[in-house]
Amino acid sequence: MPLKSKICINCLASFIPTKNEYYCEKCFNLLKGGNLKNMATLMEEAKNYEAPTTKNIADLKEVPVNLELLDRTGRGSDGEEFKYKVIKIDGVEYRVPGSVLGNLKVISEKKPDLKKFAVSKQGTGMNTRYTVIPIE
C-alpha cells in the first residue's frame, strides 16, 4: 500500500508522514528546536485579525512632500472599480484625494521649496473638503 502524502499545517508543503502527521520534516525539526514561529490556531489568528484599511492623509500630523505616490484600485459598494492614490508611511497606507494634489500644486507654485505640509479635513462622504496647510 503506497504512503499517502499530507500537507504541512505550517508551510503548506506536501510531505509523506514519518515523524508526525501535521508537519513536514523541516517544520517538525524547527518545532522541536523551539524555532518555529507563526504557529497560531485558527481561533488565535481570528482574535488578532485586523482587516486591512487605508487611512486618510488628513490623519497625519505632517506630511513630507518627497514621499512616493502609489496607485491603487478598489471597488465601491455598487461594485464599480475606482482608482485612488496613496502614500505609505511605516507600512500604513494613507489615501491622497485629488483635491489635495491640486491644492499642493497651487501652493508649490508660490512656494517651490516646500518640504512639509498638513491636511485639514471637513465634512464626510461626498461633502468632504480638504485644506492643505504649508508647514515648512
Q: Which residue has the higher pLDDT, 9 or 112?
A: 112
**Stretch 90-100: mean pLDDT, rounded?**
92
Q: How many CA atoms lie within 13 A of 72 on its CB side?
A: 17
What is the C-alpha separation between 90 and 65, in angstroms, rounded? 16
CB atoms within 10 A of CB 24: 23
The one-letter amino acid at 27: C
What confidence tens digit (pLDDT) does each residue in 49-89 have? 777 778 999 999 999 999 999 999 988 888 899 999 999 98
pLDDT at 15 over 80: no
Q: What is the pLDDT of residues 18-39, one digit of tens each?
A: 766 777 777 777 766 666 555 5
